[in-house]
């Protein structure tokens, strides 16, 4: 059976590993033409895909990466703002470089990607703009003040854009997972096999939800998808 995503053109940030890589692989398997953006520019060896080196904190670099995607594939139908970083601890003790990185990558990176992508989505008569935000974009957690701020910002931005872009046929979706076993989650002194990581979702579990949103008929918009590992609390 042919996929509704066959030949759709997708730009995914943070696609070199973790959730972004899982999303890029699923889109590619569904027949989409995929541009994978990250600082390394890794294309994961996906045949026909475009790897683009781009730091999402650099607005010009993001614009160039989106332009390269449009030149290569002839347009843009889907943009996934996924690149993200996290650092945890009391606000006053957080290394300031990490504070700035969370705002610059998670929030500004999403704004840069959306700004570059939206004119192309609108020009196609519609499309999809998704942010891989977090349950931390819906609920405050101790020790996550700046991560929370960046993710609440991302969620609010995408929610507001949905009002603005609905009449253009662009669906705006926040994907808000709880814990996912990626390098990101292994940060801050954690290692594979530690009990804190037991029962976390996989990057593929998140990609499933992204694909669910993208595969809805155009008459349906999924605004926010909040989902958690079975063992995680129910807040948010
Ligand atoms: N893991 C979780 O528990 C979890 C839960 C909820 C939400 N999230 C969100 O999911 C998203 C993806 O996280 P993940 O767990 O997949 O993390 P990950 O495994 O650490 O992957 C992060 C990706 O972002 C890229 N990246 C980092 N900084 C970048 C920058 N400045 N410019 C461009 N690309 C950059 C990395 O590639 P390069 O290093 O090559 O640039 C990598 O591809 C993030 O927004 C995160 O907040 C994660």
Does the domain formed by 9-227 have CATH 3.40.50.720? yes
CB atoms < 10 A from the CB of 164, how many? 11
Question: pLDDT, tens digit, for every residue of 121-170?
Answer: 999 999 999 999 999 999 999 999 999 999 999 999 999 999 999 999 99
Start-to-end CA span in the chain (Å):
37
Instruction: Kindly give the distance from the C-alpha atom of residue 80 to the centroid of ligand 1, in angstroms, as a whole number.
Output: 12
Give strand pairing partners of 230: none
User: 185: pLDDT confidence band, cut at 50, 70 and 90?
Assistant: confident
Give the pLDDT of residue 184: 87
Backbone angles phi, psi at 196, to 5 degrees: -60, -25
Atom of ligand 1 nearest to the CA of 41: 40
Per the annotation, the verdict on 88 as an active-site residue is no
**What's the rounded mean pLDDT across residues 56-85?**
98
- The pTM of the full predicted model, rounded to 2 decimals, is 0.97
Strands in 18-126 per DSSP E: 33-38, 50-53, 78-81
With a Cβ cut-off of 6 Å, ligand 1 is lined by 13-20, 38-40, 55-57, 82-86, 105-106, 132, 134, 177, 179-180, 182-185, 203
Instruction: Kindly give the distance from the C-alpha atom of residue 85 to the centroid of ligand 1, in angstroms, as a whole number.
Output: 6
**What's the rounded mean pLDDT across residues 16-44?**
98
């Amino acid at each position: 059976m042919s996929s509704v995503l066959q030949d759709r053109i997708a730009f995914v940030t943070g696609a070199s590993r973790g959730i972004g890589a899982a999303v890029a692989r699923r889109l590619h398997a569904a027949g989409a033409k995929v541009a994978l953006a990250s600082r390394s520019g890794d294309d994961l060896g996906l045949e026909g895909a475009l790897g683009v080196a781009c730091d999402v904190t650099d607005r010009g670099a993001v614009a160039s990466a989106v332009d390269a995607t449009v030149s290569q594939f002839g347009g843009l139908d889907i943009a996934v703002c996924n690149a993200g970083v996290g650092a945890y601890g009391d606000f006053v003790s957080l290394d300031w470089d990490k504070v700035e990185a969370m705002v610059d990558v998670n929030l500004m990176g999403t704004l840069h990607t959306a700004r570059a992508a939206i004119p192309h989505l609108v020009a196609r008569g519609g499309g999809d703009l998704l942010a891989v935000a977090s349950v931390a974009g819906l609920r405050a957690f101790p020790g996550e003040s700046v991560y929370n701020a960046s993710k609440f910002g991302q969620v609010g931005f995408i929610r507001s854009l949905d009002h603005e872009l609905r009449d253009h046929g662009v669906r705006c979706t926040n994907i808000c997972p709880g814990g996912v076993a990626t390098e990101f989650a292994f940060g801050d002194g954690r290692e594979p096999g530690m009990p804190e990581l037991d029962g976390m979702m996989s990057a593929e579990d998140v990609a499933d939800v992204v694909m669910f949103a993208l595969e809805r008929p155009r008459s349906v918009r999924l605004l926010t998808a909040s989902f958690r590992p079975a063992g995680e609390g129910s807040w948010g």
